[in-house]
Amino acid sequence: MDTEQVLFSLCGAVGPAGAEQKAAECAAEELKRYAQVRFDALGNVIGEIIPKDYTRHVLLDAHIDEIGLIVTHLQDGFVRVDKTGGVDLRTLPDGEVTIWGEKPVDGIFCAVPPHLSKAEDRRKVPALSDAWIDTGLCQEELERWVRPGDRVTAKSVPRRLAGGRVSSKALDDRACVTVILRALSLLPQDHHTRITVLFSVQEETGQAGAQTGAFQSEATEAVALDVSFASTPDSPKHKCGELGKGPMIGYAPVLSHSIYTRLCSLAKEADIPYQTEIMGADSGTNGDCIAVSKAGRPTGLLSIPQRYMHTPVEVVDLKDLENTARLLVLYLTKEETAHA
């Protein structure tokens, strides 16, 4: 499997929360190489790998949706929007977007020139209620192609950076979708673990896909995969991991401590670099709701360090994806059932 190629293909697909179809179809095509695949009523992609004599049943989750916007109003050829997910409002002025209407319509967020704004206003984060998208179309032409409810995503081309790093929109969480696919490509043929893969929808707007997907699964343990914060010179280092230093193995009260320690032990044994991430409340990931679905199941968390989360230029290190996939394979193939 060409990890970068798969990652770029997934990130290039459109899939804001609640409208993930294109991204989900792209992921499903890749998953079909390794599993029997179906879609559920909410749009989750579900893959099943069922060995004849399996001894464990593990659910692997990564969300397929990305942050985005939704059209709420058209006026004088301009478009007003609302958030679907935690869009960083600081990135909007003069940002390029695509409106996915009857046909794709390019647009640019309006930006008041500094000459026409007060100094104190230039230091403020703009309110989304004050933001408009300029498409260049007149009102009549705009209404032919765009309607309230259409989705909007940032224009972003996946690109290579130096040192094996890449930048794109939607690395949160397509990087982890890619990790699961890479792990499946590395699995030995003779493993004895039943695996349910859940590429879940609507994580960015409340984890609906993980709630329904986990509820229908009979898996007795789970590992959720998501991104977490990677350090930059202007970020609080004690709250961040580091790019290139391996997966962040997470633990929070709702998560399984034995899976946490098991993942750490496996990484040490295999000389896989890793980092830890300890949280005093919930983890803020799908792992929280997967752990308490139905009667509950032991759930672990693996996160990819990522810079510039919820922007069109998120950054990850491909080495971290590979090491996370290697660790996941060890967890799936080394026989030891986890307990909460």
The residues annotated as belonging to the active site are: 203
* Terminal Cα-to-Cα distance of the chain (whole angstroms): 34
Q: What is the distance between the alpha carbons of residues 177 and 66, in angstroms, rounded to a whole number?
A: 12
Q: Decide: 43 and 24 in contact? Cβ < 8 Å.
A: yes
**Residue 60 exposed, middle or buried by CB count within 10 Å (0-12, 13-18, 19+):** buried
Q: What is the distance between the alpha carbons of residues 206 and 315, in angstroms, rounded to a whole number?
A: 24
CA-CA distances (angstroms) from residue 194 to 52, 55, 206?
9, 7, 28
Q: What phi and psi values does residue 243 have, to the nearest 5 degrees?
A: -60, 140
Reduced to 3 states (helix: H, G, I; strand: E, B; else coil), residue 112 is coil
Q: Are β-strands 248-251 and 133-134 bridged in parallel, bridged antiparallel, or unpaired? A: unpaired
Q: CA triplet 94, 148, 143: central angle to 5 degrees?
A: 85
**Amino acid identity, position 101:** G
Q: Decide: 91 and 315 in contact? Cβ < 8 Å.
A: no
Reduced to 3 states (helix: H, G, I; strand: E, B; else coil), residue 87 is coil
Identify whether 88 is preceded by a cis peptide bond (ω within 30 of 0).
no
Q: Decide: 199 and 62 in contact? Cβ < 8 Å.
A: yes
